[in-house]
Amino acid sequence: MMKKLGLSVLLLGVALVAAWNFVAIPGSNSWSAEELQLINSLSIERLAPLPADPSNRVADLPAAAEFGHRLFFDTRLSGNGSIACATCHRPELMFTDAFQMAMGAAPGPRHTPSLVGLSHSPWYYWDGRKDSQWAQALAPLEAAIEHGIDRLQVARLIDSDSSYRQMYNALFGALPVIPATPLAASPLGDEREQINWNSLSGAQQNEVSRVFANLGKAIAAYERKLMPGAARFDAYARSIAASSELDQGDILSSNELAGLRLFIGKAQCVSCHNGPLFTNHEFHNTGVLSIAGQLPSMGRYDGIRTARSDPFNCLGEFSDAEQADCIELRFARDDNSLVGAQKTPTLRNVSWTAPYMHGGQLATLAAVLNHYNEAPLSMLSHNEAKPLALRPVERRQLEAFIRTLSAPLATEPKWLAPAVEFTQSN
């Protein structure tokens, strides 16, 4: 996928230093050719079209997004009838929840990340333990602390709701006969659910799991609609790309510009937060303090191993991909450098999604910048980021710059609220 783009842009930039030249920016700043390239590479206008997902043949079908939209907001997809994906991924909070740790059927062990622009990522979860967005969508449904339901009851809900059944049939072919008993069954559930699961025939198990996987594919089709909008930073990037020196002056303040200069220079944020989504889609150890009461997270080191053994991965029987399509999964690194590494999150809209990091350990952007400034030793393995020795004013400038990355989504409003037909079903 596009994850090497940021690096190649950096290298291109380095090559361009030879042709060093400066463009005067009224009011505050001038940029080298290398810096101009870098700034341009961060602009939302450089965002590539969404990569195809060969493992999900309905990923780009409008009817699948409509179906997924309904499922995303449906609290009936939970054991206690009150939890939907949107309970934790709230549209008005850029699909986060403002909690330190997620709160589903019970408190969870991780902080809820944003879903905006996420379909550009080849890996899902902080530790990358899922290799597609549809496979990811299945996990919270069966997690006791999240939706707390099981795949048999989910399949039965689709069967019993005539509108869902029609949507399903139109996309995936006729829904198979869903066993009427036992009540709840899943290979991942508690002991009783597992015993129930084993009481089904192999063919029944396969059919129920396929229905379940298909629902994940519809949800993923919906999530592909959630895209960031152009922010103040992008207006600035556009204006300097066009070299229209006349109207650059007021787009960013001198503090914000100083923050941008630090971001792409001395503070080295851009070495991981690069490209139009401000993420390299890779995994890094940044020395974030372990979550209180938990062992330090092994991060991607464990995540890639989990992804490889997931029956819903790109190579599995429920994937629509050919083996040759599963490059990311087949060739992913799994070495010791990934111990304690988490996925680099996007910085778009990040000023609206506090608290921060995989355990919500840092409450504010100022705390995040203090963290990077100090670059503490990692509890596990080593912190890849180095201490920055930034003065307080520089940290404030960096924060001011990061705040220029927030903007309303470039997503049709209808996707940001429950579907209108939602209130009535059956």
- Euclidean distance between CA atoms 297 and 294, whole angstroms: 8
Other beta carbons less than 10 A from residue 119's beta carbon: 20
Two tokens at 259? 């923050």
Cα 229 to Cα 15: distance, rounded to the nearest angstrom: 31
Q: In this complex, which beta carbon is closest to ligand HEC, that of residue 8 or of residue 243?
A: 8
Tell me how far apart the alpha carbons of residues 1 and 17 are, in angstroms, rounded to a whole number. Answer: 27
Among 29, 87, 205, 406, indicate the residue that binds ligand HEC (CB under 6 A). Answer: 87
What's the min distance (Å) between Cβ of 243 and ligand HEC? 28
How far, rounded to the nearest angstrom, does the alpha carbon of residue 100 sit from its chain's CA centroid? 17
Residue with smaller CB distance to ligand HEC, 82 or 199: 82
Q: Which of 226, 269, 314, 332 binds ligand HEC (CB under 6 A)?
A: 269
Q: Which residue has the tokens 């020196």?
A: 245
227 binds ligand HEC (CB under 6 A): no
Query: Using alpha carbons only, what angle is made at residue 132 by residues 130 and 133, rounded to the nearest 5 degrees?
Result: 100
Of 94, 357, 405, 407, the one binding ligand HEC (CB under 6 A) is 357
User: What's the closest the beta carbon of residue 166 comes to ligand HEC, in angstroms?
Assistant: 21
Q: How far is the CB of 246 from ligand HEC (least distance, A)?
A: 31
41/112 with CB nearer ligand HEC: 112
Q: Are 375 and 287 a contacting pair, CB within 8 Å?
A: yes
Give the residue, chosen from 65, 185, 326, 385, that forms a contact with ligand HEC under the rule CB under 6 A: 385
Of 133, 118, 62, the residue nearest 345 (C-alpha): 118
Residues 333, 369, 249, 239, Cα dihedral to 10°: 10
Closest Cα to residue 348, out of 403, 391, 311, 303?
403
For residues 52 and 363, which CB has a smaller minimum distance to ligand HEC in the complex?
363
Alpha-carbon 326 to chain mean position: 19
> Which of 83/227 has CB closer to ligand HEC?
83
* Smallest separation, CB 104 to ligand HEC (Å): 3
> Which residue, 55 or 87, has its beta carbon nearer to ligand HEC?
87
Whole-number Å distance between alpha carbons of 426 and 419:
15
Site size with ligand HEC, rule: CB under 6 A: 48
Residue 282 CA to residue 273 CA, distance in Å, equals: 10
Stretch that binds ligand HEC, among 57-65, 238-246, 261-269, 318-326 (CB under 6 A): 261-269
Contact positions with ligand HEC (CB under 6 A) in 283-312: 284, 286, 288
Token pair for 53? 């997902």
Q: Counting contacts by CB under 6 A, is residue 148 touching ligand HEC?
A: no
Site of interaction with ligand HEC (CB under 6 A):
83, 85, 87-89, 102, 104, 108, 110, 112-113, 115, 118, 124-126, 133, 136-137, 140-141, 146-147, 219, 267-269, 271-273, 284, 286, 288, 342, 344-345, 347, 350, 353, 356-358, 365, 368, 372, 384-385, 398
